[in-house]
Structure 1
Amino acid sequence: MREIKFRAWDKTTNKMGEVEELISLVTKEYKTSVLYCDDESGTGYECSYDFVLMQYTGLKDRNGREIYEGDILANKKAFNRSFKVIWNPDGAWFVHDGDDWPCYYLRQVNKSTEVIGNVFEHPELLEVKKV
């Protein structure tokens, strides 16, 4: 069974962090917040109401790095392109370059690709076709 975990992009502070806890507050506005770790040491925590959740795919790249939704992957040998990791509502993880080029199942390419960034911290990596 794969591990279920998330990371969050805080839209207010422009920080990425591993999610420690999701909190739903039953108030007039009904807000959901996320508590996330915002530093490498694992000791700094932030709470945000304006965030984007990204789920761990359960797969790792060729270097053993965990692959999350929104990550940008590169495969210099086979495709010479970069790809964004996306979730299909029918129940599968895909990679896509945003053009007419076909999608691939993430499981088909994860061992031959590497995470080079994500769509929030490195959007320019998707603009460049040659990697």
Structure 2
Amino acid sequence: MELLSKRRICKMVVPKFRLFDKNKGNIIDSSKIMNINFENKSIMVLNKILEEDNFTQKDYSEHTFKNIVLMQSTGLKDKNDKEIFEGDILAVETDDEVINVRIFWDEKHALFMFESKKYNENELLAELVEDNTYPFEIIGNIYEDKELLDA
């Protein structure tokens, strides 16, 4: 019985995604993604909601995987309580400097990592968050703000 009382209870996490539209060059927020069909390789996106009197009309568009980049949430938040997604660029405040890093999914090890272009190294994202020594915040993403990685 003692074993049961010490067992950790894990919550099931529902994957959350946002996307980058290659044709329009913009990020589409996760709240606008209505359906992801991995079999047909397409995504249904809510463009806008039109409301008149007692009538509501929703405008949707379908995107194919070849025209978008799908980015998964890490389930973590920055110092401003903003959700961190794959492809985000974070400014990490160390004792000596601010380092810009990119968040990416490591297929081989099945985990999120961050890459420092300045120091040419990759580290586990979980270590940055668990350590809690260095504050970090989202300053952009690799699709709209790639130049931030050179700073």
TM-score (norm 2): 0.68
The secondary structure found in structure 1 opposite 2:41 is: strand
Q: What does residue 42 of structure 2 align with?
A: 33
By how many angstroms is 1:114 displaced? Answer: 0.5
2:117–2:150 contact (8 Å) kept in structure 1: no
Matches within 5 A, 1:10-49: 10-17=21-28, 18=30, 19-23=33-37, 31-37=40-46, 45-49=60-64
Equivalent position amino acid for 2:93 in 1 = K
In our comparison, the structure showing a higher alpha carbon Rg is: 2
Residue pairs, 1:85-100, within 5 angstroms: 85-89=103-107, 90-100=109-119
Structure 2 match to 1:80: 98
User: Unpaired segments of 5 or more residues in structure 2?
Assistant: 1-10, 49-57
Structure 1, unmatched stretches of 5+, are: 26-30
TM-score normalised to the size of structure 1? Answer: 0.77
Higher helix share: 2
Q: CA RMSD in A?
A: 2.3
Cα shift at 1:45: 4.5
Q: Secondary structure at the match of 1:126?
A: helix
Q: Percent identity?
A: 29
